Chains A and B, each alone.
Chain A
Amino acid sequence: AQSVTQLGSHVSVSEGALVLLRCNYSSSVPPYLFWYVQYPNQGLQLLLKYTSAATLVKGINGFEAEFKKSETSFHLTKPSAHMRDAAEYFCAVSGPSSASKIIFGSGTRLSIRP
C-alpha cells in the first residue's frame, strides 16, 4: 500500500523568503513521487517528479525537491517566494505495480505575505 502525508495544511511565508513544504511517503515498492500545484478553479499542474534517477529533482517555476529514502521524505523547496506562488500544493506517490494510479496527499495551501 502507498500513502502520502503532508505536514501542515497551511504555510505562510513572506515574499522573497524560503519556501519549504513537507511531504513524507509510505510505499512497499520503489516509489514514483510527484508535486502538483493547483491554482483556484483550475486542475493540477505537474511541478516535478522523481522516478529513481537523480535524488535532487528540479521543476518548473524555480521549485525543487529532494528524495531522501532514509527519511521517506520528498520535501518541496524554493529559495525565494513570489506572490504568484500562492496556491495549493499536492504531494503524490505512485508505483509501477499500481496501474499508474496516483495517491495524493491532502494538500498544503501556500500563502505569500507582501
Chain B
Amino acid sequence: ETGVTQSPTHLIKTRGQQVTLRCSSQSGHNTVSWYQQALGQGPQFIFQYYREEENGRGNFPPRFSGLQFPNYSSELNVNALELDDSALYLCASSLGGTGSNQPQHFGDGTRLSIL
C-alpha cells in the first residue's frame, strides 16, 4: 500500500506571501489531519478533513485554510505568512473521522521556512 506523501519537502517563502502544501493520503483512508510542528516542540493540530468537509479545527487563525478532494488528497493553504509560521507541517491520514480510534499515519512533512 502507498503511504502518506507530502510535497514539497522543503519550501522557503518571505513574509506576506501565500503558500500551498499538498498531501496524498494512504490508500483507502478518507480522513486527513494537518499539524504544525515548530522546532523543538510537539505537533499542534491545525484541522481535519473527513469526506471533503472540515471536521474539527485547532487554535489557528483563519489565514490557515484547507481543502480535501474527492480522491481524499488534501491541501493546506496559509495566507499572509509570518515568521512564526516557520515549522514542519505534517499531514496524517486515517480511516473514520469523528469518534474513530483508527491510528493516524503520518507523512514526512514539509519544512517551511519564512524569511
A residues neighboring B (CB under 8 Å): 32, 34, 36, 41-46, 49, 51, 90, 92, 94, 96-107
Verify B94–A100 contact, CB threshold 8 A.
yes
With A32-B101, A90-B43, A106-B41 as given contacts, are A43 and B94 in contact (CB-CB < 8 Å)? Answer: no
B residues neighboring A (CB under 8 Å): 4, 31, 33, 35, 40-45, 48, 55-56, 58, 90, 92, 94, 96-109
CB distance from B105 to the nearest CB of A (A): 8
With A34-B103, A44-B106, A51-B101 as given contacts, are A98 and B41 in contact (CB-CB < 8 Å)? Answer: no
Which of B41, B55, B90 meets A44, CB within 8 Å?
B90
Verify B97–A99 contact, CB threshold 8 A.
yes
With A32-B101, A98-B56 as given contacts, are A103 and B106 in contact (CB-CB < 8 Å)? Answer: no
Q: Please give me the residue from chain A that is nearest to B10 by CB atom.
A: A41
- Which chain B residues border A98 with CB–CB below 8 Å? 56
Total A-B pairs in contact (CB under 8 Å)? 72
Verify B106–A45 contact, CB threshold 8 A.
yes
Which of A92, A98, A102, A107 has the most chain B CB atoms closer than 10 A to its own CB? Answer: A102
With A44-B43, A90-B43 as given contacts, are A100 and B99 in contact (CB-CB < 8 Å)? Answer: yes
- Which chain B residues border A92 with CB–CB below 8 Å? 42
Q: Please give me the residue from chain B that is nearest to A90 by CB atom.
A: B42
- Which chain B residues border A100 with CB–CB below 8 Å? 31, 33, 48, 56, 94, 96-102, 104
With A43-B90, A43-B106, A46-B103 as given contacts, are A99 and B41 in contact (CB-CB < 8 Å)? Answer: no
State the 6 A-B residue pairs at the shortest beta-carbon distance, nearest first: A99-B56, A104-B42, A43-B106, A44-B106, A101-B45, A43-B108
CB distance from B54 to the nearest CB of A (A): 10
CB distance from A52 to the nearest CB of B (A): 9
Could you give 28 example pairs across A and B, Cβ below 8 Å?
A34-B103, A42-B109, A43-B107, A44-B90, A44-B92, A90-B43, A92-B42, A96-B98, A96-B99, A97-B99, A99-B56, A99-B97, A100-B97, A100-B98, A100-B100, A100-B101, A100-B102, A100-B104, A101-B48, A101-B56, A102-B35, A102-B45, A104-B43, A104-B44, A106-B41, A107-B40, A107-B41, A107-B42
